[in-house]
A and B are shown apart, each in its own frame.
Chain A
Amino acid sequence: SQQGEEDPQALSIQEGENATMNCSYKTSINNLQWYRQNSGRGLVHLILIRSNEREKHSGRLRVTLDTSKKSSSLLITASRAADTASYFCATDRYNFNKFYFGSGTKLNVKP
């Protein structure tokens, strides 16, 4: 069964606004990653957060992790049309090389 599940399934915002996506998972994890997928392409790694971290930043991205609630959020600040993509969270398994991917949040940033 899959671990990470993103919410909402789809999000539409205006350029310049912030976008927040959430990921919930079922069992304990060691690492959680976020990936982006542009339409019809492969996934690109954005950021990894470890279970002992609560927040991490990378450019306009901010990721938080709440292990007590088994959830993570990805915040994209000052969004751009180029941020239009699907965003996936990936949670690790007992085998640290393998990750579960959720079904993604489809973000549309309108210019």
Chain B
Amino acid sequence: DVKVTQSSRYLVKRTGEKVFLECVQDMDHENMFWYRQDPGLGLRLIYFSYDVKMKEKGDIPEGYSVSREKKERFSLILESASTNQTSMYLCASSPDRALSYEQYFGPGTRLTVT
């Protein structure tokens, strides 16, 4: 079974702190994604990576950056956390589209910024 793990289920941080959210997948997938999920807004794509060291902005990249130094790990960085970044963050991975379009999700990190 594909497993996507996220470093924390719940996280509380203060405004202005630098926050790291880690995601690891164990299926050698090329593609990895970071979404945030807010009530009534669904999932919105923050960043996408299609290969090591490669990244692409999603729909709402402002205030975020990402790092993919190894194929299995994709990190989301909040450079200076703000209260409007309080949200559920979901990481996902998928294989090359020649194989499948299915995305495999982690359990999510509920981040609260106070």
Listed in ascending order, the chain A residues whose CB lies under 8 Å from chain B are: 2, 31, 33, 35, 40-45, 48, 88, 90, 92, 95-104
Contacts and interface: CB of A to CB of B under 8 A. Distances in A.
Q: Which of A35, A43, A48, A100 has the most CB of B within 10 A?
A: A43
Contacts of A43: 43, 90, 92, 103, 105
Interface stretch (B13-21, B62-70, B71-79, B94-102): B94-102
Contact of A104 (B42, B102, B104, B105): B42
B103 A48 contact: no
B108 A96 contact: no
Contacts of A101: 35, 42-44
A35 B43 CA distance: 12
16 contacts: A40-B88, A40-B110, A42-B90, A42-B92, A42-B105, A42-B106, A42-B107, A43-B43, A43-B92, A43-B103, A97-B31, A97-B48, A97-B50, A97-B101, A101-B42, A103-B41
B45 A88 contact: no
B52 to A, nearest CB: 15
B91 to A, nearest CB: 8
Contacts of A2: 42, 44
Contact of B101 (A92, A100, A104): A92
B102 A48 contact: yes
A41 B43 contact: no
Contacts of A98: 33, 45, 48, 58
